[in-house]
Amino acid sequence: MPRPSRAEAEAAVRTLIRWAGDNPVRAGLHDTPARVVRAYEEWFGGYARDPATILGRRFERSGYDDIVLLRDIPLHSTCEHHMAPITGVAHLAYLPGEQVVGLSKLARLVDAYARRLQIQERLTVEIADALQRELQPRGVAVAIRASHACMTSRGTHVHGSAMVTRRLLGAFEHEPWRGDILAVLSA
């Protein structure tokens, strides 16, 4: 499907404003369609980012042979069912093969996949699979804990709940590494 133009996207926002019961040309809303489209460019910028490029610059592991873990990576995504915010944290770990990657690249990988319409389960899988495919480590672990506004701001209005998803690959699927990584992720 061809991507709509900026003018078409702004017209769609004006339609939603009218549907909500307001006037899109009143003073406070006149520039809102353009602001919403600019916000969408940022919120959904992950579609333009390639995980292989993000993880492309690697370094020799220099003899390091244990878990590499980056915890508490801020995560901001959007639920594909209601287009409501998903906020939380991601924890990424891997057992290096021959190479390691800079820590900022792990956070950028999370951000690239999070800035797409998502469900948390697929987000977890996409991040883990990209790490496995690009770094070829001995093991990968990804855990995400997030709150979903589709539950807190509508429907059941359940506040304070969080969904946890995880994916373990390679050595992390089996003992002794499985117990080690699960302990570290839950610490």
76 is catalytic: no
136 is catalytic: no
82 is catalytic: yes
| Alpha helical stretches, state H, 28-170 | 32-43, 51-54, 103-114, 120-135, 149-152
- Total count of residues recorded for the chain: 187
Find the catalytic residue in 80, 132, 136, 173.
80
Find the catalytic residue in 8, 60, 81, 98.
81
118 is catalytic: no
What pairs with residue 93 in β-bridges? 69, 141
Find the catalytic residue in 91, 118, 134, 148.
148
Q: Which residues contact 53 (CB under 8 A, 6 or more apart)?
A: none
Find the catalytic residue in 79, 91, 118, 134.
79
Beta carbons of 148 and 79 less than 8 angstroms apart: yes
80 is catalytic: yes
Q: Which amino acid is located at 137 in the chain? A: P
Find the catalytic residue in 99, 132, 136, 150.
150
For CA atoms 75, 76, 79, 85, give the dihedral sign.
Answer: positive
β-strand 117-118 against 68-79: which pairing, if any? parallel
Find the catalytic residue in 10, 91, 118, 120.
120
148 is catalytic: yes
Find the catalytic residue in 82, 99, 132, 173.
82
120 is catalytic: yes
Distance, in Å, from the CA atom of 88 to the CA atom of 157, rounded to the nearest integer, reads 18
Q: Which residues are catalytic?
A: 79-82, 120, 148, 150
